Amino acid sequence: MINKIEQKINGDLKFFKDSSFFDNNIKQKIQVYANVRFEALIRWCSLMDLKKPRQINYIGKREYVEFFLFCIFRQKETINNLWNTCGNLLNKGFKKSMISGREHFMGYLWELYLIYFFSIKKLSISKSKKNNGPDIKIEYQNQIFWVECVCPKCGNSEFKVPEIELNKSLPLPTYQIEKRLEYNLINKAEKYQSYIKKKWVLPNDKKYIAINTSDLSQYGSLLDSHELELLSLTRKIDFFENYKEIDGLIYSHASIFDYSDKITLFIIKNDYSVKEESCQIYKGSIN
């Protein structure tokens, strides 16, 4: 009789065999990045996911394999379901960039979330035709909306967001988080200014910045009920007054480590009003 561990391994192997996102090309790329055969990687991750590390020695390139386990393997159903829904709206290089390493994964997953979110709203969506243009183009009621996505990282400057220390009660590093958010907001606003100068984006187009805090160490998840902090920050730095071309922000704290069944977006308009939107995204089929 097949035991539970073997059943899980066989189930995970079958998932990746049948997956639309993890096609043969992506599997080959993962093998190169991990420096181990794909099937062996899945077997190892399946055991680790059962918290049975003693049953198999460490394999492959440690940094990439750990990234794969915690970011890709444990979110495989979500990634595959989202891709089945809106993968046709993305270019061929999207998957390769998404699975290439931890430094890229969060940003691409955030973009995938948003494209899914907009697609279920029955909006006309396309990727920017310019390689360096805004991430998402939406056409609605004869109006073009652009969305530029960003997942701020902890940074390396004097404003670096510190790592959470286990068994220590430390105050939320609000100042550092604000500085990271401010830097990324301004950076994206200035990108829009360059897009307008190059005529990739027209002055009358609607321009949004979509920002996700889940890459700010583990502090992003602590901002779950603090969307007003971003609103307060935009007022503090006169963001919309200084960057009049920006029509609003789309904000979420949703983390890839959450096993929630929905994503909530907060839309902050340039008049500082806030609107909340949410949708079901995973746990099997996507609604």
pLDDT at 169: 63
Q: Which of 19-23, 41-45, 154-158 has the lowest mean pLDDT?
A: 154-158
Tens digit of each residue's pLDDT (9 = 90 or more) over 228-252 = 678 888 999 999 999 999 999 998 8
Q: Which of 147-151, 153-157, 196-200 has the lowest mean pLDDT?
A: 153-157
pLDDT at 284: 41
Task: Select the highest-mean-pLDDT range: 128-132, 178-182, 195-199.
Answer: 195-199
Token output for 77 = 């159903």
pLDDT at 1: 42
- Strands 136-140 vs 274-280: parallel, antiparallel or unpaired: unpaired
Tens digit of each residue's pLDDT (9 = 90 or more) over 35-67 = 999 999 999 999 888 765 555 577 889 999 999
pLDDT at 104: 86
pLDDT higher than threshold 80 for residue 171: no
Percentage above 70 pLDDT, the chain: 80
Mean pLDDT over each residue of the chain, to the nearest integer: 82
pLDDT at 226: 52
In this prediction, residue 192 has a pLDDT band, given cuts at 50, 70 and 90, of: very high
pLDDT at 142: 87
In this prediction, residue 285 has a pLDDT band, given cuts at 50, 70 and 90, of: very low
Percentage above 90 pLDDT, the chain: 39
pLDDT at 287: 39
List, as own/partner pairs, every contact residues 92-99 make where C-beta atoms lie below 8 angstroms and the sequence separation is at least 24, other chains included. 95/21, 95/23, 95/26, 96/25, 96/26, 96/29, 99/26, 99/29, 99/30, 99/33, 99/68, 99/72
Greater confidence, 32 or 173?
32
- Compute the Cα dihedral for 30, 33, 36, 42 and give only its sign: negative
pLDDT at 88: 84
pLDDT higher than threshold 70 for residue 225: no
CB 117 within 8 A of CB 263: yes
pTM score of the predicted model: 0.84
What b-and-e string marks burial along 83-112, b requiring 16 or more CB atoms within 10 Å of the CB? bebbbebbeeebbeebbbeeeebbbbbbbb
